[in-house]
């Protein structure tokens, strides 16, 4: 659809100036001196039908186009092209008018943020923005969005508490962007054992090294059949991450909500736990409130990730030392083969050091994401 309709006045002008095939037929009759009655007789059609064609009320069918070719000498495909273009343009005007009436619906999405991040592109006007949002979700109308995307969000994440403060439209946009990113990735078939080996590799190598770890993490997971995408968070949907299966391929979607490496890594292993321990049909969205069943599975994933990053035995040894200087944290990181940010984050969550400790010594680093 052409993005030329910005106001209701644009719609009115378009309806006024659009020309139906009947206008061309009327001009041809005037040029040849033939009346509508005569044309009807030569075509073997009722005069009323010819009049309705000229007024644009009746369509030129393939049969009518052939008859016109025989009577007025203009090829049938000419008439068919006129008719097709006219009906398409008319439908575009109708669709633009309908979209204009859905302004309140489309404004529920974080349009400017989605545009700034490059997820959608649109010009001024509600029609262009609506078209961009519908194309983003691959739906034809706001009704289709509500029936498919919105209901699916709650049907699959059925454990989510009604007390959740997250904006559902922003959540849907963030989740959809993750799917779009995943579509461009090619992965091997999912292999649980290979994924478990990959997690160990990430823990022992990539978590220790910051530079280039995003690409390395993504590539290693793809080889094990798991798609990992990095999606900047939206203010109206401050989500840490999500795990779901797209057909037979698990997808981990991570955000940079807290812009802190230790939280980012913990979230990754938390999401990995969902893949290893929970049902394919489950959808997990971290950063929302869950009811009982969902909360139980979230706690299981938390416990698994915490124990995987620092074992219970190692954590106990660390806490028993009762000394948590910068040098101690760096020593623990070397001893447990992990990053100092993981140690500082764990100690701060236990209330043994302040949250500012990791920032002061440069252990906590920002995680910047594109896409």
pLDDT, one tens digit per residue, over 147-156 is: 888 766 655 5
pLDDT band for position 121 (cuts 50, 70, 90):
very high
What is residue 301's predicted lDDT score, i.e. its pLDDT? 94
Contact (Cβ atoms closer than 8 angstroms) between residue 198 and residue 223:
yes
Residue 68 tokens, joined? 């016109």
Q: Residue 246: in which H helix or E strand, if any?
A: strand 241-246
Nearest one of 285, 60, 62 to 176, comparing CA atoms? 285
Residue 233 tokens, joined? 């968070």
If you average pLDDT over residues 231-238, what whole number do you get? 88
Dmax of the chain from CA atoms?
106
Q: How distant is the alpha carbon of residue 249 from its chain centre?
A: 17
Contact (Cβ atoms closer than 8 angstroms) between residue 132 and residue 120:
yes
What is residue 257's predicted lDDT score, i.e. its pLDDT? 85
Nearest one of 255, 281, 291 to 270, comparing CA atoms? 255
If you average pLDDT over residues 298-305, what whole number do you get? 93
Determine how many CB atoms are found less than 10 A away from the CB of residue 114. 23
Q: Is residue 305 over pLDDT 60?
A: yes
What is residue 132's predicted lDDT score, i.e. its pLDDT? 96
Q: DSSP string covering 25-85, please?
A: HHHHHHHHT--HHHHHHHHT--HHHHHHHHTTSS---HHHHHHHHHHH---HHHHHHHHHH
Rounded CA gap, 119 and 115, in Å?
6
Residue 257 tokens, joined? 């909500």
pLDDT, one tens digit per residue, over 325-348 is: 999 999 999 999 889 999 999 999
pLDDT band for position 53 (cuts 50, 70, 90):
very high
What is residue 162's predicted lDDT score, i.e. its pLDDT? 44
The DSSP output letter for 162 is T
Rounded CA gap, 310 and 155, in Å?
35
pLDDT, one tens digit per residue, over 155-170 is: 554 444 444 557 889 9
pLDDT band for position 237 (cuts 50, 70, 90):
confident
Rounded CA gap, 339 and 238, in Å?
25
Contact (Cβ atoms closer than 8 angstroms) between residue 254 and residue 228:
yes
What is residue 163's predicted lDDT score, i.e. its pLDDT? 47
pLDDT band for position 258 (cuts 50, 70, 90):
confident
The DSSP output letter for 207 is T
Rounded CA gap, 171 and 9, in Å?
34
Angle, in degrees to the nearest 10, between helices 47-54 and 36-43: 120
What is residue 210's predicted lDDT score, i.e. its pLDDT? 62
pLDDT, one tens digit per residue, over 172-214 is: 999 999 999 999 999 999 999 999 999 999 988 867 666 678 8
Rounded CA gap, 134 and 137, in Å?
5
Which domains does the chain possess?
8-101 (1.10.260.40), 106-156 (no CATH), 168-360 (no CATH)
What is residue 370's predicted lDDT score, i.e. its pLDDT? 67
If you average pLDDT over residues 72-91, what whole number do you get? 96
Rounded CA gap, 222 and 220, in Å?
5
Rounded CA gap, 154 and 149, in Å?
9
What is residue 260's predicted lDDT score, i.e. its pLDDT? 87
- C-alpha distances out from residue 337 to 202, 279, 310, Å: 11, 31, 9
pLDDT band for position 279 (cuts 50, 70, 90):
confident
The percent of residues above 70 in pLDDT, for the chain, comes to 91
Rounded CA gap, 39 and 358, in Å?
88
Q: Exposed, middle or buried by CB within 10 Å (0-12, 13-18, 19+), for 1?
A: middle
Output Rg (C-alpha) for the chain, integer angstroms: 31
Least confident stretch, 20-29, 162-171, 262-271: 162-171
What is residue 1's predicted lDDT score, i.e. its pLDDT? 55
């Amino acid at each position: 659809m052409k993005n030329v309709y910005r106001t209701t006045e644009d719609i009115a002008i378009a309806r006024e100036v659009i020309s139906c095939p009947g206008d061309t037929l009327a001009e041809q009759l005037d040029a040849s001196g033939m009346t509508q009655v005569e044309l009807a007789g030569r075509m073997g059609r009722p005069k009323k039908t010819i009049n309705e064609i000229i007024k644009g009320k009746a369509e030129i069918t393939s049969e009518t186009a052939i008859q016109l070719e025989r009577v007025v000498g203009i090829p049938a495909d000419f008439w068919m092209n006129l008719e097709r273009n006219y009906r398409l343009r008319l439908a575009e005007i109708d669709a633009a008018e309908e979209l204009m009436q859905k302004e309140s619906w489309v404004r529920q999405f974080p349009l400017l943020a989605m545009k700034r991040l490059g997820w959608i592109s649109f010009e001024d006007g509600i029609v262009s923005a609506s078209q961009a949002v519908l194309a983003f979700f691959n739906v034809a109308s706001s009704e289709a969005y509500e029936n498919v995307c919105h209901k699916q969000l709650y049907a699959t994440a059925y454990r989510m508490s009604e007390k959740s403060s997250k904006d559902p439209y922003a959540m849907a946009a963030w989740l959809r962007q993750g799917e779009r990113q995943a579509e461009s990735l090619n992965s091997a078939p999912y292999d649980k054992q290979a994924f478990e080996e990959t997690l160990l590799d990430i823990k022992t190598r990539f978590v220790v090294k910051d530079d280039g770890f995003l690409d390395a993490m993504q590539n290693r997971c793809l080889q094990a059949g798991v798609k990992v995408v990095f999606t900047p968070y939206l203010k109206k949907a401050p989500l840490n991450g999500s795990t779901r299966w797209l057909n037979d391929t698990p997808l981990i979607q991570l955000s940079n909500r807290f812009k802190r490496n230790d939280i980012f890594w913990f979230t990754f292993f938390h999401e990995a736990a969902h893949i290893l321990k929970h049902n394919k049909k489950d959808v997990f969205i971290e950063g929302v409130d869950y009811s009982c069943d969902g909360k139980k599975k979230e706690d299981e994933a938390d416990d698994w990730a915490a124990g995987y990053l620092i074992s219970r035995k190692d954590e106990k040894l660390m806490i028993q030392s009762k000394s948590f200087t910068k040098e101690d944290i760096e020593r623990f990181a070397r001893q447990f083969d992990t990053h100092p940010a993981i140690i500082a984050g764990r100690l701060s969550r236990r209330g043994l050091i302040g949250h500012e400790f990791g920032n002061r010594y440069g252990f906590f680093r920002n995680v910047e994401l594109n896409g």
